[in-house]
Structure 1
Amino acid sequence: MSVKILAIDTATENCSVALLVGDTVYSRSEVAPRDHTKKVLPMVDELLNEAGITLAELDALAFGRGPGSFTGVRIGIGIAQGLAFGADLPMIGISTLAAMAQAQFRLTGETHVAAAIDARMGEVYWARYQRLENGTWHTFDSERVIAPEALVAECQADSLSWSSVGTGWSAYPELAKLPLTLTESAVLYPDAQDMVVLAKYELAQGNTVAVEASSPVYLRDNVAWKKLPGRE
């Protein structure tokens, strides 16, 4: 039986939806920072119609769990939860940083990827990944939010060559001072077509959660509270 997974991501400026049916991936993607809520559901309908299946026939619903913009992550998980609840589907949260690593492999075959998303406030969302022979990704540096100068100060040199993906590199040129051998990439944003590939592995491992248990990963959970008077 072929695996069927729908993936939704609105965690960054890019809005994307992808549908995996067996070995075929259907996808839609558009950079539309302020129109995620208008774009997502029509994209979902288009893909389901194109593949000739319904939500109820899916095995799971994947979503970009972050890190990314607070509003974007909330929109994505909210829409995904609504669809999954209505169709009684398990959910799979996929890292936006890992999705960009998968995108770089899809496009170039690179197996060592340094991902940096502009997190605003003088920081980046950062992680490094190494692709293993079984097709999974080893987290070389764990996901975190960090100031570029702090990252430069603590990063250790190695003998590997790293592909740089994400918006953080252009937002913070000082990342070029990292003691790493870096190669440029055209991958700026995560995309749902790469999330469904990662989600297929997670589903095979039984790594799903119920709708009510699905949650975002902000990495900077306290920022929204600190903006409110009296909150620390």
Structure 2
Amino acid sequence: MLGGSLTISKSDTQGIAVKDGVVKSWDISKMIDPNYPDGYSYTSMGVALNSGGLTIYSAGYGITLDKGGVIDPKYKVASLQAIASNGRNSIGTGLVLNATNSNFPFTINGNIDVIGGIRQTSKTTSVTIGAGLILSLERRGETVIAILLGTINSSLTSGQQFGVGKIPLGYRPNTTANIPAHMTSSYNGAHIDAGIDGVCTWWGPSTNTGYPRGSQMWFTNDSLPN
């Protein structure tokens, strides 16, 4: 077929259409819900395939939507796009999954074999927790690396909470983490508890001076910082 369009309805809630170089498919589910005037709620899933790739749509609403109406930019969930190469190179440059939600869950059931490396976006920040001590933080995926820096410039006692700053959201551990604090030019050992609320606590000898150094890695359940 060189022109025109084609629509095939599989049922009142399912269908497929070909028009203007785009292939669209949709499926509307119907559930009893007394919160809506007609007593039902509707959830749609749809996909559109064109030369730009595959786009997935989803919408929930309390009234029926026109057939194929879910294929609309405001209902976009994610798109899968192959990036073409330039010039005469016949090898594509990549495959990109873009999601409207920055925390889009991507689940694979089964084993994954990776040939090559996995590169993750890196986010960094630093926070002065108190007593002259600083935490340098790097977030990669669900992992945070913390490096302890600074010079103690006020009194610290064991069990004392730092009162200047907290570990910011996006970097907080999902369970209390212990950051080793080795005193430079000394055999004294200590550690800092990093709590799930971002509050840090000193556990070590009472002191008002020193150059503690240490690092730790932990997992976080926080959303990825902007």
| Alignment TM-score, normalising by the size of structure 1 | 0.19
Larger radius of gyration: 2
Q: Which one scores higher on RCO, CA 8 angstroms, separation ≥ 6?
A: 1
TM-score (norm 2): 0.20
Query: Which has the larger share of strand?
Result: 2
